[in-house]
Structures are given as structure tokens and as C-alpha cells.
């Protein structure tokens, strides 16, 4: 469980795995996307030594809850093609893949979206 005591969307969320560590190992944030800064992006970054433990998804989920609590209707994550762990984290947060675009940053990016009404919805079973 993360220590999520510090959450401020303007500065981000410091990620500490627990209060015993007392060491910041990453962060999550919500930032406007170019152009026009109308869409908001949830982002995350962790030290390599703590990746793969679910901390990024937990922190991103906390940022999403905070954003929706502030009245936002949707947030996005943009992931470079081939960034398998970034895409997996977006899906673990509950985000849905909506396509590829070059709208943001002029680069081809995979776009994931989470809407307020979809946060904490159980994933649909996938037929095999």
C-alpha cells in the first residue's frame, strides 16, 4: 500500500511504498496536454528498483479519483507505441484504449481514456 498522504494535482503525487521506507521512489501527476491544454494527462514515473509492484497503477488510480472528485469528466494517458509496461499500467488504472494519434506532442502515441463513470468498474471478461 502506498502512502498517499501528499496529493496535489499541481505538484503531483509523491510515491513512497510505505511509511517505513520514508523515501520517494516516483510520482504521478495530472498535466494538460498540448495543443490547447484542453485534455488532461495522468502520468507516472518510478525508480527502476520498484517497478512491477503495482505502485504506478495505484498512484495513477489515486490521481484519477482526485481528478474526478474535482469535477473532471475524463482524463487521458498517452503512451509511446511499444511501451508495453506503460500501456499495461494505463489498463490497470481502468483506462480504455481509444486509438493512436499524433495530436499530442506531434508524435504517434497510443491514447487511453478514463471517464468519471467508468472509474472502479470491473473489467469485462474477454472471450477466448
124 in a structural domain: no
- Answer with the residue of higher pLDDT: 99 or 15: 99
pLDDT above 50: residue 60: yes
109 in a structural domain: yes
pLDDT for res 2: 42
Average pLDDT over residues 13-31: 68
**What percent of the chain clears pLDDT 90, i.e. is strictly above it?**
41
Name the domain count of the chain. Answer: 1
Give the helix/strand (H/E) hosting 13.
Answer: strand 12-15
**Which strands, in side-by-side order, build the sheet including 96-101?**
7-8, 12-15, 26-32, 40-46, 74-79, 109-115, 96-101
User: How many other C-beta atoms are found inside a 10 Å radius of the C-beta of residue 66?
Assistant: 18
Which residues are paired to 80 by β-bridges?
A: none
Q: Which residue range is the domain that position 101 belongs to?
A: 7-118
80 in a structural domain: yes
Local confidence band at 55 (pLDDT 50, 70, 90 cut-offs): confident
34 in a structural domain: yes
CATH number, domain containing residue 105: 3.40.630.30
Do strands 12-15 and 40-46 pair parallel, antiparallel, or not at all (unpaired)? unpaired
pLDDT above 90: residue 7: no
pLDDT for res 66: 86
Q: Please give the mean pLDDT across all residues of the chain.
A: 81
123 in a structural domain: no
107 in a structural domain: yes
125 in a structural domain: no
126 in a structural domain: no
State pLDDT tens for residues 64-81: 988 898 889 999 999 999
Q: Model-level pTM?
A: 0.79
pLDDT above 90: residue 12: no
Amino acid at each position: 500500500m502506498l502512502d498517499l498522504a501528499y496529493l496535489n494535482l499541481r505538484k503531483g503525487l509523491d510515491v513512497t511504498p510505505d511509511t517505513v521506507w520514508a523515501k520517494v521512489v516516483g510520482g504521478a501527476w495530472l498535466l494538460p496536454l498540448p495543443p490547447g491544454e484542453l485534455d488532461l494527462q495522468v502520468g507516472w514515473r518510478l525508480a527502476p528498483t520498484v517497478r512491477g509492484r503495482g505502485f504506478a497503477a495505484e498512484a495513477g488510480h489515486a490521481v484519477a479519483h482526485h481528478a474526478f472528485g474535482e469535477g473532471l469528466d475524463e482524463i487521458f494517458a498517452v503512451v509511446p507505441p511499444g511501451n508495453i509496461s506503460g500501456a499495461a499500467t494505463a489498463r490497470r488504472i481502468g483506462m480504455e484504449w481509444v486509438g493512436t494519434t499524433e495530436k499530442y506532442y506531434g508524435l504517434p502515441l497510443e491514447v487511453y481514456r478514463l471517464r468519471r463513470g467508468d472509474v472502479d468498474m470491473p473489467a469485462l471478461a474477454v472471450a477466448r
